[in-house]
Chain A
């Protein structure tokens, strides 16, 4: 059933205790609620927006950013309505690499308390939810690719899954899941011992007053920026905020540093976008982090219907040397299958100063707005530079093509926002760790210091790898649904 909390009456919540209160209906929240509802649990799914985007809701994402390169407008890089940011998701997917879960000496605090097999078991379900094609061998333009660069496959969600659209009918008909629209989370009230959440407190836009939802367990799924913002704001009983005993909430914000690297001319026509990631040995040798190189065409891979296949039209019979000479002279050859772009998305160093903090400006509900500080470390810049130069070198050595590396990468300059930018991937701000001193949630996504508060979404990522996060968010949500099933049945 889907209800608008603007129309609530006193009897909606009186005496009611849900099994789970899920807050946020994006990929994580919708998946958890759907899974638990299908298993017979009574779920309140509370969404701050309505079924469609409204300025009233979206304006609550106002905030500031600091650091360099300058980050995006915080009201434009996520969506605050039913289905969340899946409503503008680009559909790129791949799982994290197995070695993303392992600690790296040159990235202190890295490593997850789980390994990839804990998520692999959800791959089939994630594939189905995300409308993905079969997992096939990745394209590779090296006959014998260098051991430093491993071919990687991206799969594309087509038609792209919008989680609100996916589950709306099921929720509407469900006797177990009740969706409450226009329910803005403004507080959580803990029990007397401060060890468990008793109720989540909400406000709607027009109807005065607050209302509370009581549940046996709570899953906070507001996104990688709002999860920490809420926890830091939830200081009515704990002054530092909920889950923030070790001053970790909001810290270790991770993005994928995206950068165009330069133009490429290849000998054999490209039929698919080609991707490479570094081997673990190469990362350790160079003291760099994970990255995902992409070779193809900006114009094509930014299309909303891109599936990985490159369109070779207009067909071209110009020989390699002529194409290369033209590109080197700055002439754009109309030969998309043989002249294109190299691009990279890089993992970032765990930096406690990349973080969400609260400002003194308050939103319409009295919660403090956020400031996001985002910077690149020396390791991040070395990773970007190594990705570019390694690809260019290997292409020339193997004579599969030539690449021009953009000057800032060669000259070791600090990149500006036109050269390096985020992917709208907000990760790490309530990171997972087996140790409460290095993470906010445990291996089950439970806030260390509370018995019944869980976090869903990419804020729990302990590291980011280079993979776009929605696939792993979905796997983690399915896993959290299973864990809550076990806990609630115990």
Chain B
């Protein structure tokens, strides 16, 4: 089993990260990449982290995925700092022998990363204004469905 977790300002190399998972010898690799979405004059996102706690929270989430699913490995990399439209924010990757566990664990990792890691997004607009993103109730619902589920994935 091989887990890679990072909280960093720098970009990550998606191809290299997926190649690491592919090399673990399973039959399936799933991934999700979060990218800064433009529109409504948004020019950048600023992501605030809690030094010390953010990485540990991400590590706990990855460990939970490894415990719940039969994975050969997983990757959870989250950026912080100022990110422009189109920049990558987060990468989740999973490797397993079969697709179901890879896909389910991938969805779990991003659902929990959104709701159980200390990170805050602020939107920066072309007119110089800034707005803190409000937490979305549907994200909490998605994360809670994994709480309610049995040992493996959603019921």
Are chains A and B native binding partners rather than an unrelated pairing? no
Interface residues, chain B, with chain A CB atoms under 8 Å away: none
